[in-house]
Structure 1
Amino acid sequence: MNLLIGVLIAIGFFFVLQYGMVLKMRMKKGKQAPELSGKYDRALKNGGAALFYFYSDGCGACKPMTPLFDEFSSTRKNVFKVNISNDMATARKFGVMGTPSTVLVRDGKIAEFLVGPQPRERIEALLPGR
């Protein structure tokens, strides 16, 4: 009986942490986008909107989304794949706490912050310059 209670508490704790992370990321909507440099900064200043996809090579949930962003980033100039293993600084600036995360920045503000795998249709609806 004690083992069952321990397992249920652990599962509950896990879900509370996950929900807290998602809630914290969603609260970033409407906030000012962080100061960026290089190609990210140029895209935001020139185009006004950019879509950032944060992933890591070891992320199982990222596997179905990464080919979508390969396609989108090769055909659209303001779509960026950010591998957090190589560019943790950008992920930290946005406050990314888990992968995959997708962030839409429009007019200098975070317009959308999605956590977890998303269907193609949802991502296409976010694409800048549609």
Structure 2
Amino acid sequence: MNVFVRIKAKAMKGQPLPDLPGKVGKSIAKATDGLVYFFSPSCAACRTLTPIVQKAAQKNKNVFAVDVTKNLELARALKVMATPSTLEVSGGRVVEVHVGMLPQSVLTRLSPST
């Protein structure tokens, strides 16, 4: 993955959540702690990861699976430049950013409820 994309994504770490557009954006803003996963249907890596995250999102209201082709403004507001990208949010701030496949530690947190 492009180093520039990773550097730009990591710059979001520690930043407050901006004003987020749309219904999904408002739900993310209300979440105390959450995980926001951005994917694209044409992304090969996303095809493996998306079903796992979507299943977790059905069971946990603070897990959001966002299709960038349908929510481009939300992706732009959070400076998402590549898929898959995942933001961990807490207290209205971005606490961690993952570009590419999720680390095993994050998948493990999602898996017990799936």
| Residue 59 of structure 2 corresponds to residue 69 of structure 1 | no
TM-score (norm 2): 0.85
Where structure 2 has 5 or more consecutive residues not aligned to the other structure, the ranges are: none
- Work out the CA distance in 2 between the residues paired with 1:94 and 1:43: 11
1:41 to 26, 31, 42: 26
Identity of aligned residues (%): 32
Question: Residue deviations 1:90-111, cap 9 Å, x none?
Answer: 0000000000000111111101
1:27 is matched with 11
| Equivalent residue pairs, number | 110
- Work out the CA distance in 1 between the residues paired with 2:72 and 2:109: 27
- Work out the CA distance in 1 between the residues paired with 2:28 and 2:77: 16
TM-score (norm 1): 0.75
1:114 is matched with 98
Residue 42 of structure 1 and its aligned partner are, at CA, apart by 3.8
Q: Which has the larger radius of gyration?
A: 1
Residue 122 of structure 1 and its aligned partner are, at CA, apart by 2.3
Residue 63 of structure 1 and its aligned partner are, at CA, apart by 1.2
Where structure 1 has 5 or more consecutive residues not aligned to the other structure, the ranges are: 1-14
| Residue 41 of structure 2 corresponds to residue 54 of structure 1 | no
2:76 is matched with 92
- Work out the CA distance in 2 between the residues paired with 1:91 and 1:43: 12
- Work out the CA distance in 1 between the residues paired with 2:109 and 2:3: 24
CA RMSD between the two structures = 2.1
Runs of 4+ with deviation above 4 angstroms:
none
- Work out the CA distance in 2 between the residues paired with 1:96 and 1:38: 18
Residue 41 of structure 1 and its aligned partner are, at CA, apart by 2.1
1:80 is matched with 64
